[in-house]
């Protein structure tokens, strides 16, 4: 479900208006939300966003922070919430071209949403007021946003299905088969750390490790590190 091998091609260093930290206008042209607009419009929008860089592990979005739309240009970030016990439930990983934080902009008070950089990450930040103005000014944006948000909701549904399946074994099996379908190959690479996959599947790294071993013993998969090969697709799907 998550791949991470895109690299933005070197941007032409023309006359970049140094608004903030003097970065290039990557985000606006890169992101599906904006890249269908005319160049002139994109440039206007670009003046409204601030480009920021985050090191691995830095918080980008917190519940008490200012409402803002965050667009990922490079790297990726994880979006998660904290359970009562303080355990982290990973919701999704946002890749270049993706965005996060729009729900707050719509007025939804999302009380416990965090976003954190998984790698050194370039993002563009759009403030609430500016974004609302944009939506009014470019009605096409609203439609596009609606479309993209619908996609996101589909992903969230899948995530909820994971947690509805009672056994970790089943969740892991489903995750692997989904990933296999996505890559159209029997050999695949887990796109995140085991610790994070565990959080994503709603379990602990320890249990995840045991389940991997169990699937290997059943000859359903083989694994070296995060490199997994599916040996028995049918057997895996039966779970």
Q: Which positions touch DNA (CB under 7 A)?
A: 85, 87, 166-169, 193-195, 202-210, 212-213, 225-226
Residue number, 36 or 167, with CB nearest to DNA: 167
User: Whole-number minimum distance, CB 164 to DNA, in Å?
Assistant: 13
Cβ neighbours, 10 Å, residue 209? 12
Q: In what order do the strands lie in the sheet with 88-94?
A: 59-61, 114-117, 77-82, 88-94
User: Whole-number minimum distance, CB 12 to DNA, in Å?
Assistant: 31
Contact status, residue 124 vs residue 50, Cβ threshold 8 Å: yes
Residue number, 139 or 225, with CB nearest to DNA: 225
Residue number, 98 or 191, with CB nearest to DNA: 191
Residue number, 31 or 172, with CB nearest to DNA: 172
Q: Within 13 Å, how many C-alpha atoms sit on residue 215's CB side?
A: 32
Residue number, 37 or 168, with CB nearest to DNA: 168
User: Whole-number minimum distance, CB 44 to DNA, in Å?
Assistant: 40
DSSP label at residue 96: T
Residue number, 36 or 213, with CB nearest to DNA: 213
Spatial distance between the Cα atoms of 22 and 6, rounded to a whole number of angstroms: 23
User: Whole-number minimum distance, CB 232 to DNA, in Å?
Assistant: 19
User: Whole-number minimum distance, CB 38 to DNA, in Å?
Assistant: 42
User: Whole-number minimum distance, CB 26 to DNA, in Å?
Assistant: 25
Contact status, residue 147 vs residue 39, Cβ threshold 8 Å: no
Inter-CA distances, 31 with 72, 97, 207, Å: 8, 4, 37
Q: In what order do the strands lie in the sheet with 99-100?
A: 50-54, 121-127, 68-74, 99-100
Residue number, 131 or 200, with CB nearest to DNA: 200
DSSP label at residue 238: T
Spatial distance between the Cα atoms of 159 and 97, rounded to a whole number of angstroms: 21
User: Whole-number minimum distance, CB 184 to DNA, in Å?
Assistant: 25
Cβ neighbours of residue 115 closer than 8 Å, sequence gap 6 or more:
59, 60, 61, 70, 77, 78, 79, 80, 94, 100, 101
């Amino acid at each position: 479900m998550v791949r991470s091998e895109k690299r933005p091609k070197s941007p032409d260093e023309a006359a970049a208006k140094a608004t903030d930290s003097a970065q290039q206008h990557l985000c606006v042209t890169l992101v599906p939300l904006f890249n269908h607009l005319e160049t002139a419009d994109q440039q206007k929008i670009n003046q409204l966003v601030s480009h920021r860089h985050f090191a691995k592990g830095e918080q980008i979005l917190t519940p008490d922070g200012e409402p803002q739309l965050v667009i990922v240009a490079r790297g990726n970030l994880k979006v998660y919430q904290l359970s009562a016990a303080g355990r982290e439930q990973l919701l999704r990983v946002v890749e270049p071209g993706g965005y996060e934080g729009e729900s707050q902009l719509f007025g939804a008070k999302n009380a416990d949403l965090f976003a954190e950089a998984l790698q050194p990450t370039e993002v563009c930040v759009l403030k609430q007021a500016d974004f609302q103005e944009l939506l009014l000014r470019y009605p096409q944006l609203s439609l596009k946003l609606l479309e993209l948000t619908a996609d996101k909701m589909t992903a969230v549904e899948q995530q909820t299905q994971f947690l509805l399946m009672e056994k970790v074994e089943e969740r892991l099996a489903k995750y692997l088969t989904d990933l296999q379908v996505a890559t159209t190959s029997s050999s695949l690479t887990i796109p995140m750390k085991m610790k994070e996959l565990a959080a994503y599947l709603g379990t602990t790294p320890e249990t995840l490790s045991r389940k991997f071993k169990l699937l290997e013993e059943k000859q359903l998969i083989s694994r070296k590190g995060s490199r997994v090969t599916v040996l028995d697709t049918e057997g895996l799907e039966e779970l």
